A and B are shown apart, each in its own frame.
Chain A
């Protein structure tokens, strides 16, 4: 049996579909799956310019949590976390989903106050959250240095025990396989070059390198390249695409059995099952589509990591890379219709999209299928005009 047929069916695009989804990453695939599974909409095509899940889905640090400050964020990320908790059963696949706990460290009085506030806000929203003192931090994760005599002392941390990690590729493959089994066509190596425009400028599908694909609904789920696609229909968005870097070390014995994140010093780390330390940085400041960043960002991140985890001084760097993240001014996504009839957007997940993979697709599918989604409604593009921003910058443990 062809290895590929154990997963999703390779598909040639048909001339038309009910829904065409532009972008075969995690969010596009989960959107396709929930359209088919929850709403019975199976006449769906996912077009991907490269190979499946080869963009940010292949480049993230796999962290899953829902401890966001604001109600709108807690709603969608907690919904997502609940979907994660049943996802291996639902998709019938091992996703190496591990709720090993996510700690967000606090390094100064401002951090402590905002962290405690976030813990209380989380609890009010039914999101599990605890405040740990520095001694609790060390008990939970013994290799963290809690000496007060360092540049960024650990004054405490928030802990979400239900948070953790999952194997990113397996998540994409499982969604693709499940969607494909329900009748969704997944077309790889097919780049969108233009949009099909109908009466009144309505978007009625896409022109691709494999020909025209018409659709009643066109859904952009293209992460870092969303602005490039939107520009084809003259739509200007509040997005900037930045490189976001991450790295892995060589393989080591198990030394870290939780996820540790620090906003202030922009480092977040976990240890993969195979043994690599997986670390992420903050974004590079400039706009960039090159899938690489500047080395001083890695250097800065390593300096912080070494201070927090002195034992890492023995580790050696194996590989660094970058993804292209589309960042909104309020660090929250855009999920909703556009001023152009027939065109929907799911983008702007910035540095924190992986954890939202199930919830994003679930809400976006509901929006496309029924015309409304309670979870997605606050994330409409219109919020930038009304001023109803969902300001998670700094509020939600930035280093997503």
Chain B
């Protein structure tokens, strides 16, 4: 089980969290103006690196807040977790 450091609650067991997939995806500001390709890109296409990955987590059984993480998908090790209004630590 992963030990996840919630930016507000500190290190907690993985079972308290829900996974939110890739972080930093932005909703098209004018969705009706985008092409089918751009819409598909927003809706379905995702980065899927073997290595550091910026992703979202939700502390469902804790503070119930979303936050971001950088985690190495090759090892599952968390590199950092940070609030949504923060940049990932260097």
Contacts and interface: CB of A to CB of B under 8 A. Distances in A.
User: Are A and B bound to each other?
Assistant: yes
Interface of A: 225, 227-228, 231, 236-241, 285-290, 292, 294-296, 326, 329, 384-387
B50 A385 contact: no
A159 to B, nearest CB: 34
Most buried by B among A225, A241, A289, A326: A289
Contact of A241 (B43, B48, B75): B48
Nearest to A294: B1
A67 B53 CA distance: 36
B15 A287 contact: no
Sorted nearest first, the 7 A-B pairs with minimum C-beta distance are A227-B48, A238-B44, A285-B19, A385-B40, A384-B44, A289-B50, A294-B1
A24 B22 CA distance: 29
Given A286-B71, A288-B73, A237 B18 contact: no
Given A241-B48, A329-B44, 11 more contacts: A228-B50, A236-B41, A236-B46, A241-B73, A285-B18, A287-B53, A287-B55, A289-B74, A384-B44, A385-B39, A387-B36
B14 A231 contact: no
B49 to A, nearest CB: 7
B47 interface: yes
A239 B46 contact: yes
Contacts of A239: 46, 48
A286 B40 contact: no
Interface in B54-78: 55, 71, 73-76
Contact of A237 (B14, B21, B45, B55): B45
A161 B55 CA distance: 43
Contacts of A294: 1-2, 14
19 contacts: A227-B48, A228-B49, A236-B45, A236-B46, A237-B45, A240-B48, A285-B18, A285-B19, A286-B19, A286-B73, A287-B48, A290-B73, A290-B76, A292-B76, A294-B2, A294-B14, A384-B45, A386-B36, A387-B36
B87 interface: no
Interface residues of B, number: 27
B37 interface: yes
Nearest to A297: B1
Nearest to A290: B76
Contacts of B55: 286-287
A225 B46 CA distance: 14
A49 B86 CA distance: 39
A225 B50 contact: yes
Interface in B1-57: 1-2, 14-15, 18-19, 21, 36-37, 39-41, 43-50, 53, 55
A236 B40 CA distance: 11
A238 B49 contact: no
Nearest to A241: B48
Nearest to A235: B45
B46 A385 contact: no
B31 to A, nearest CB: 14
A387 B43 CA distance: 11
A385 B48 contact: no
Given A296-B1, A296-B15, A385-B40, A290 B45 contact: no
Most buried by B among A288, A294, A295, A387: A288
Given A231-B49, A241-B48, A385 B73 contact: no
Contacts of A225: 50
Contacts of B43: 329, 384
A388 to B, nearest CB: 11
B3 to A, nearest CB: 10
Nearest to A230: B48
A296 B14 contact: yes
B14 to A, nearest CB: 6
Nearest to B19: A285
Given A239-B46, A296-B14, A384-B45, A287 B1 contact: no
Given A287-B73, A294-B2, A240 B44 contact: no
Given A228-B49, A240-B46, A290 B21 contact: no
